[in-house]
Amino acid sequence: MLLVSESQYHPPLAFFSQLLGAQELWLETQEHYRKQTYRNRCLILTAQGIKPLTVPVVDGNRSEKVLTSAIEIDYRQNWIHQHWRTLQTAYGGTPYFEYYADYLHDIYADKPQLLFELNLAFLRFYLRCLRLPIPIHFTAEYHPSYPPTELPTPAGDAWQDRRDWLSPKARENAEPDRTSVRPYSQTFGKDFAPGLSILDLLFMQGPAAGSFLA
């Protein structure tokens, strides 16, 4: 399976569950940016419940006229400090926060200019953590749907279009969750909270995180 997806910030667990059956991952670079999506936000679990973390982008009002791969991060806002403090507060006491903290902090410290570059750096890190050796490719032109006739499909493989398959709005509105993951112990709440960022699973399960994807 050749999976096509948008770039996401600390992607939700369902994104990685889909990758279990994929031979290649194609990231969409030629679409116009869309606001209020996982492209620049993630959902984590705090003592107050599920909280979104959002990366601010430059000229947000005109962002939907810009290619996703060209969207710049707005570092005039002190968002890195805010995100990191929130992660420390929510997950500082988890079994594996310290195990991953330095790697994540280094990616933030690089301050990539583009949102796409930041998301890609985190994605490559997560694939290593989950032991998913999937090659990443980038789309060269936009196709409304897949499979496009212009792109070759290796024998036996099929295109799976997963662009905007997941939405934080759907999660916040309590629509049916698409996370395919075994429940695991979480830091807060009595009931298991599905649909969270991969960070939640990694900080709780560490190197065993990949075994919870299904």
Q: Is 129 in contact with 209 (CB distance < 8 Å)?
A: yes
Q: Is 112 in contact with 68 (CB distance < 8 Å)?
A: no
Q: What is the pLDDT of residues 76-114, one digit of tens each?
A: 999 999 999 999 999 999 999 999 999 999 999 999 999
**What's residue 176's pLDDT?**
43
Across all residues in the chain, what is the average pLDDT? 90
**What's residue 21's pLDDT?**
85
In the predicted structure, residue 43 carries a pLDDT above the cut 70? yes
Q: Residue 59 — very low, low, confident or very high, per pLDDT cuts 50/70/90?
A: confident
**What's residue 1's pLDDT?**
87
Which residue has better confidence, 177 or 200?
200
Q: Residue 170 — very low, low, confident or very high, per pLDDT cuts 50/70/90?
A: low
Q: Is 44 in contact with 196 (CB distance < 8 Å)?
A: yes
Q: How many Å apart are CA 54 and CA 27, to the nearest integer?
A: 20
In the predicted structure, residue 64 carries a pLDDT above the cut 90? no
Q: Where are the domains of the chain?
A: 2-212
Is the Cα dihedral 96, 119, 145, 166 positive or negative? positive
**Could you identify the residue written with the tokens 């709780």?**
204
Which phi and psi angles does 130 have, rounded to 5°? -90, 0
In the predicted structure, residue 177 carries a pLDDT above the cut 60? no
Which residue has better confidence, 54 or 64?
54
What tokens were used for 21?
């059956």
pTM more than 0.95: no
Q: Residue 65 — very low, low, confident or very high, per pLDDT cuts 50/70/90?
A: confident
Angle, helices 198-205/97-110, rounded to nearest 10 degrees: 140
Q: What is the pLDDT of residues 142-169, one digit of tens each?
A: 999 887 665 666 555 689 999 999 988 7
For residue 28, how many other CB atoms are within 10 A of its CB? 22
What mean pLDDT do residues 199-214 have?
94
